[in-house]
Amino acid sequence: MLKKKNKGNSETAKNTAEVTNESGQVDGTEQVAETATAENIPTAEERFKEELSQANDKYLRLYAEFDNFRRRTIKEREDARKTEGKDVIVALLPVLDDFERALRSMDNVTDVIPVKEGVALIQHKLKNILTQKGLKEMQSIGTEFNPDLHEAITSIPAPTDDMKGKVVDEMEKGYELNEKVVRFAKVIVGA
């Protein structure tokens, strides 16, 4: 019996919801209002589509930003490579000017001693500039032969027993730039 009552009550609820207007037709104003509120609430599929489009938009913007960053850094690196030695070259220009003045003055000089002094001053100036930029001469003569620092050209009989395995003479100086070897010293080793 309970079931019949419930069915009866639900039918009356439907009947009461449907209101007839003056001409006897069913008025659908309440149904339109219910449908309108149902249309305003997005379904789960619509929400997911909206979230997907937002995520895609965010991804595209992030990708474009990263691509711009990558291009900019490549360009900056290229510019840096082109001008990385600029400060050293600018520092060496006065030395080049000094050499040009020395060459011009050699044409009229009869005494060699002032020319030697001038060239020695220019060499000293050049060494000072390079030292300021981090270049350092390696001292090789009398030190133990080290293949990480020296390049052996030849070996000769050692003048004394304590010079065996040590650098006897230096053909070209070795240089370090900021504690890293940039040129190995070419040396003669005592055997």
Task: State pLDDT tens for residues 116-147.
Answer: 888 889 898 988 888 888 888 888 888 888 88
Sketch the domain layout of the chain as residue ranges: 58-133, 136-191
CA dist 181 and 5 (Å) reads 101
Q: What is the pLDDT of residue 134?
A: 85
Strands of the sheet containing 180-183, edge to edge, are 135-137, 175-177, 180-183
CA dist 145 and 135 (Å) reads 21
Tell me the angle at which helices 86-106 and 112-132 cross, rounded to the nearest 10 degrees.
180
Q: What is the pTM of this model?
A: 0.52
Region 136-191: CATH code: 2.30.22.10
- Using an 8 Å Cβ cutoff, are 138 and 185 in contact? yes
Residue 11 or 39, more confident: 39
Phi-psi region of 124 (alpha: psi -120 to 50; beta: other; left: phi over 0): alpha
Report how far Cα 26 is from the mean position of its chain's Cα atoms: 75
Written as one letter, the residue type at 79 is D
Given this chain, do its domains 58-133 and 136-191 carry the same CATH topology? no
Enclosing H/E stretch for 118: helix 112-132
β-partners of residue 81 are none
Q: What is the pLDDT of residue 99?
A: 85
Average pLDDT over the chain reads: 79
**CATH code matching the domain that covers 58-133, chosen among 3.40.120.10, 1.10.287.3510, 3.40.50.150, 3.90.20.20:** 3.90.20.20
Q: Give residue 13's pLDDT band: very low, low, confident or very high (50, 70, 90).
A: very low
Q: What is the pLDDT of residues 29-65, one digit of tens each?
A: 555 455 555 567 878 899 999 999 999 999 999 999 9
Mean pLDDT of 139-163: 85
Residue 142 or 3, more confident: 142
Which residues, other chains included, contact 152 with Cβ-Cβ below 8 Å and sequence gap of 6+?
Answer: 145, 187, 188, 189
